[in-house]
Structure 1
Amino acid sequence: MDTTTAGIVFIAALVIALAVVHVPLGDYMYRVFARDKHSRAERVIYRLIGVQPGVEQTWGIYARSVLAFSAVSVLFLFFLQLSQGRLPLHPHDPGTPMTGSLAWNTAISFVTNTNWQNYAGESTMGHVVQMCGLAVQNFVSAAVGIAVAVALVRGFARHRTGELGNFWVDLVRGTIRILLPLSFVFAIVLISGGVIENFHLFSQTATTVADTGAQTLPGGPVASQEAIKLLGTNGGGFFNVNSAHPFENPTAWTNFVEIFLLLVIGFSLPRTFGRMVGSKKQGFAIVSVMATLALFSTILTNFFQLHHHGTVPTAVGAALEGVETRFGVADSATFASATTLTSTGAVDSAHDSMTSTGGLMAMFNMQLGEVAPGGTGSGLYGMLILAVITVFIAGLMVGRTPEYLGKKITPREIKLAAAYFLVTPLIVLTGTAAAMALPGERAAMANSGPHGLSEVLYAFTSAANNNGSAFAGLSANTTWWNTALGLAMVFGRFVPIIFALALAGSLAAQGRTPESDGTLPTHRPLFVGMVAGVTIILVALTFLPALALGPLAEGIH
């Protein structure tokens, strides 16, 4: 089987697997958030944190709860990292010193579901920090995204109320009933595929095949963190090279499982949305938009990686530069597309070594807002806001007040939706401009010219969209870069969340607008194509000048 055919089979198998679980997993998540009964474990947690689970919250209180929980999480993780030298299971000679700016950046990174890493995981972080700090945030940051998505869906589903649910209940349920059991099952699956799970540090030695000496092997509780790293679209690697490391991703079939895991919740949540608003067709329309964008991106990324040369591959004289040879170009390209279409950021190849147009696709995927299917929860609420913008544009074209799911899109709703969309480009372009204007920060680029600009643009695109992957040629572990990218992660995560919850509150306060002859059907292929087209056009208009100076200029150089 040639490379192209193998890549097509790989993608087709992924599509089939995701289609098979879409309905059962989506229905299960609907039941998780629709039922009022609480388990015994959940009631114990509510008592410990002082929450009354039967009391619902307005959008403002819900947003303040999200911010308060995240702020406490940042402080805890920040001080845990700074004190890790006094904790057990910590390497005696850490590879990257833990400074205050690095601890700040890492704490922000994991709490915002970005998982940007300016350190080598296996030699910098001890096992206690990995398990009690980073892995915990892998669960709860993903649960926060699901909770916000559910709150926005309730805004569409409810009428004449100010209540959107209870953040603490949604957080606990998302963690205990969805993320924990799925992670447990797939951790076992990954262990069976060869992913390691132990408490070794650097005490294991092995003799090389050529018997030229001993090699020290790192260890750790990897499989248990690998599952939630992907399910929660977190992406932080236990090892520095992430899923290109054979202890994190040993074989071609574990590579398939890992890509499946980072897509499965995002592609199943639209089914949950359809059940909650009482129309499965609406959920199918949203997942169709996601699937259209995802397939388009994956096919283009594979084509550009297989058939187009760029600065880096040409310079080294090999199209396999930066590609994990166990998986090949096609499977690595599919992983790159999936990880940037979501907010995962995990990698099984070096994105900095992709062809110029392949790297452009990775950036463009993130600049879409990571909505195909996007981050765990964040992809759904991002796509719903793009649907609102599309309905508004369609209303302008026919000269009537737009409606979506029985709610009128008034000037207040469209202002909130537009503000949500504009926040991330503002952060990306402002950060990139600032970095390029400062000579000291430009020095962090390993390359000059268009590829150097691409490294900087990729970094701020990744941080502001809470992705976490990088063009590794950028040396970003400095006080300025740690601070600037940390701020991009904070504002890129929480400002859109505030706008999404404000939109949910505005929608929930409305009554139901009955359908009329002028109502745009939002469950048909026409609407699917409109949302996909509006998404691409808005992003292209926003980022095309920057992309033209970076990856596009590199491609025609």
Structure 2
Amino acid sequence: MLQIIGTLLIFLILIFPIGNYVYHITTGKKSFVDPLFDRIDNTLYKVLRIQTASMGWKTYALSLLLVNACLIFVGYLILRLQATSLLNPNGVGGMEEALSFNTIISFMTNTNLQHYAGESCLSYLSQMLVIIMMMFTSAASGYAACMAMIRGLLGKPMGNFYVDFIRIITRFLLPMSFFVGLFLVWQGVPQNLASNITVTTLEGKLQDIASGPIAALESIKHLGTNGGGFLGANSATPLENPTILTNLAELYSMMLLPASCVFVFGRMAYDKHQERKIKEGVLSISEAPVQKRVWLGKEGRTIFIAMSVLFVIGLGLCFYSESQGNSAVEAVGISQTAGNMEGKEVRFGVAQSSLFTTVTTSFTTGTVNNMHDTLTPLGGFVPMLHMMLNVVFGGAGVGLMNMLIYAILAVFICGLMIGRTPEYLGKKIEGKEMKLAALSIIIHPLLILAFSALAVSTQAGLEGISNPGYHGLSQILYEFASSAANNGSGFEGLADNTLFWNLACGVVMFLGRYMSIIIQLGIAGSLMQKTEVNETIGTLKTDTTSFAIILVVVVYIFAALTFLPSLALGPIAEFLTI
């Protein structure tokens, strides 16, 4: 427990300066990197002929979709034609059609679900021009959509997609990836373009040791909440994650950008509050800059508390379950004093494995430092549930977008209780917004449950199950929860590299990503056009701890109403039987 608490305390220290820096990137405020990056950004705008004027929500969404579509087309061609000798020292052949479709959709939607082993199925050209490139662009797309939604909710112009897209790459993702990559190389992660090394083991057998630009992929894999590994075993292998220091670096990397988005929201909401006070004459323009420094703001603090409560509850359950071991194993006389160590690295143990498992599925990264298929039933229940919730910080931007939809839903429910028209951030929530919010929320469980039903009712779906009974259903639920949440981790016992699973998961990843983003931008665009309403004594406060508790309760109630029956037939039933 001391390991976990110490790790999280360091994260809380790191997130304040990083969150403040991302806030400056988003709002265009001055920062120490401006003299360099202003030149880079302006050059890109000129070369690409980008008009930096603010966009409406439809233009913003269309720009995002078109950029992503072009990248999907180019990436698919590279995967299909990678058998060329260019940056292909291991002689990897072209990827077949269904797997190429699944892979390109997976990485463009920030899911990074892998139905292949990277060291044997991808050339270095594909690893760099498809996988690594899309790890930057998919993260930037999610971040940009989130910033546009925040601006719309606060009644401000929604900004320009291309500007948001470029600024987060040049000013955060690229430089941070460079420094994290250097750190990983220092700790022993390979970074080269050499072919795999064939060695003779002590048993006299031949074994291939992977090489390649592993450190470059590992850094952006975590910073962009991507998760796809250079190797099939992901961060459970020493080549990707050799020491406890690299494990911590990867943990912090995947937590920084999602948490920073909450800071940006809080600071921008605080700025709006200050502007309103100036407009009302409560505060003068000269007094505003000398107001007490605000790191997070009350609205951001409320969201951060709600997400943190959900995270801590899940982490506690996962750690407790894994530390207790597997009663079925103990029943046959095998002691588990160290907890459930099946599928875990000895150098990390139960504590760091449980923390990594909860973080990667809460921040929807998908990277793993242990095999989730070997978790105890309740230990596996936690990452599955967090992907089903999809609001426990979530991926780069999209987790906050989902939580803001729940905030709108919570305000609506509370408004019904007190007989008032619900308001959020000074805007009335009316029928149009509630219909869109309900649609946005229902898409996620619909994709997971409908496609899980399809899998268990078809022979092609059932053939992928490697474990009979309750755990087999858990494998299916986990796969589609991971796809719909754009997470990418999996219960790797599932035989998923088939036509059915490649196509089904590809469709779920695509719809889970873009349908939600379009609807959420539509809600923000609708609220942006509304006139602000004055706060009265009857207005529900959304910047309090009590509202954070309401948010947590609403999220859990919705999860229970939609997912509890399927979870009861999967991990919960498996837990009760052992």
Calculate the TM-score normalised by the size of structure 2. Answer: 0.90
- Aligned counterpart in structure 2 of residue 197 of structure 1, from 191, 195, 199: 191
Establish whether residue 416 from structure 1 lines up as the match of residue 436 from structure 2.
Answer: yes
Q: Which residue of 1 aligns with 2:308?
A: 291
Establish whether residue 22 from structure 1 lines up as the match of residue 15 from structure 2.
Answer: yes
How far has the Cα of 1:472 moved from its partner?
Answer: 0.8
Is the 2:105–2:509 Cα contact (8 Å) retained in structure 1? yes
Q: Which residue of 1 aligns with 2:494?
A: 474
Is the 2:90–2:195 Cα contact (8 Å) retained in structure 1? no
- Aligned counterpart in structure 2 of residue 244 of structure 1, from 218, 236, 251: 236
Mean alpha-carbon deviation: is it higher for 455-464 or for 192-201?
Answer: 192-201
Q: Which residue of 2 aligns with 1:329?
A: 350
- Aligned counterpart in structure 1 of residue 324 of structure 2, from 280, 304, 307: 307
Taking a change above 3 Å as real, the CA distance of residues 165 and 311 of structure 1, as seen in their structure-2 partners, is farther
Establish whether residue 50 from structure 1 lines up as the match of residue 11 from structure 2.
Answer: no
AA aligned opposite 1:44? T
How far has the Cα of 1:374 moved from its partner?
Answer: 0.7
Taking a change above 3 Å as real, the CA distance of residues 12 and 112 of structure 1, as seen in their structure-2 partners, is same
Establish whether residue 455 from structure 1 lines up as the match of residue 475 from structure 2.
Answer: yes
Is the 1:146–1:378 Cα contact (8 Å) retained in structure 2? yes
How far has the Cα of 1:43 moved from its partner?
Answer: 2.3
What does 1:110-121 correspond to in 2, within 5 Å? 110-121=107-118
AA aligned opposite 2:21? Y
Q: Could you tell me how far apart the structure 2 residues matched to 1:310 and 1:268 are? A: 40
AA aligned opposite 2:437? A
SS at match of 1:148: helix
AA aligned opposite 1:49? L
Q: Could you tell me how far apart the structure 1 residues matched to 2:313 and 2:254 are? A: 18
Q: Which residue of 1 aligns with 2:543?
A: 523
How far has the Cα of 1:402 moved from its partner?
Answer: 1.1
Is the 1:310–1:357 Cα contact (8 Å) retained in structure 2? no
SS at match of 2:466: coil
Residue segments in structure 2 that go unaligned for 5+ positions in a row: 274-296
How far has the Cα of 1:174 moved from its partner?
Answer: 1.1
SS at match of 1:114: coil
Taking a change above 3 Å as real, the CA distance of residues 360 and 544 of structure 1, as seen in their structure-2 partners, is same
Taking a change above 3 Å as real, the CA distance of residues 315 and 257 of structure 1, as seen in their structure-2 partners, is farther
How far has the Cα of 1:156 moved from its partner?
Answer: 2.0
Establish whether residue 142 from structure 1 lines up as the match of residue 139 from structure 2.
Answer: yes
SS at match of 1:200: coil
Is the 1:310–1:356 Cα contact (8 Å) retained in structure 2? no
Mean alpha-carbon deviation: is it higher for 109-118 or for 279-288?
Answer: 279-288
Taking a change above 3 Å as real, the CA distance of residues 313 and 493 of structure 1, as seen in their structure-2 partners, is farther
How far has the Cα of 1:316 moved from its partner?
Answer: 11
Q: Could you tell me how far apart the structure 2 residues matched to 1:285 and 1:512 are? A: 21
Q: Which residue of 2 aligns with 1:464?
A: 484
Q: Could you tell me how far apart the structure 2 residues matched to 1:45 and 1:314 are? A: 64
Residue segments in structure 1 that go unaligned for 5+ positions in a row: 1-7
SS at match of 2:83: helix
Q: Which residue of 2 aligns with 1:259?
A: 251
Is the 1:313–1:354 Cα contact (8 Å) retained in structure 2? no
How far has the Cα of 1:283 moved from its partner?
Answer: 1.1
Is the 2:90–2:123 Cα contact (8 Å) retained in structure 1? no
Identity over aligned pairs, percent: 40
How far has the Cα of 1:334 moved from its partner?
Answer: 0.9
Q: Could you tell me how far apart the structure 2 residues matched to 1:316 and 1:101 are? A: 45
* Deviation readout 1:73-124 (Å, 9 max, x if unpaired): 1111111000000142325454x97210000000000000000001110111
How far has the Cα of 1:214 moved from its partner?
Answer: 5.6
SS at match of 1:533: helix
Establish whether residue 229 from structure 1 lines up as the match of residue 221 from structure 2.
Answer: yes
What does 1:101-112 correspond to in 2, within 5 Å? 101-112=98-109
- Aligned counterpart in structure 2 of residue 83 of structure 1, from 81, 86, 90: 81
How far has the Cα of 1:228 moved from its partner?
Answer: 0.7
SS at match of 2:174: helix
* Deviation readout 1:39-88 (Å, 9 max, x if unpaired): 222223223333211x2111111111111111111111111000000142
Q: Could you tell me how far apart the structure 2 residues matched to 1:13 and 1:509 are? A: 45
AA aligned opposite 2:377? S
Mean alpha-carbon deviation: is it higher for 31-40 or for 265-274?
Answer: 31-40
How far has the Cα of 1:361 moved from its partner?
Answer: 1.0
AA aligned opposite 1:507? L
Mean alpha-carbon deviation: is it higher for 496-505 or for 316-325?
Answer: 316-325
Q: Could you tell me how far apart the structure 1 residues matched to 2:493 and 2:513 are? A: 25
Q: Could you tell me how far apart the structure 1 residues matched to 2:548 and 2:429 are? A: 18
Q: Could you tell me how far apart the structure 1 residues matched to 2:62 and 2:118 are? A: 32
Establish whether residue 544 from structure 1 lines up as the match of residue 542 from structure 2.
Answer: no
What does 1:316-355 correspond to in 2, within 5 Å? 319-355=340-376
SS at match of 2:149: helix
Q: Could you tell me how far apart the structure 1 residues matched to 2:85 and 2:405 are? A: 44
Mean alpha-carbon deviation: is it higher for 426-435 or for 283-292?
Answer: 283-292
What does 1:337-376 correspond to in 2, within 5 Å? 337-369=358-390, 371-376=391-396
Q: Which residue of 1 aligns with 2:289?
A: none
Is the 1:18–1:267 Cα contact (8 Å) retained in structure 2? no
AA aligned opposite 1:497? I
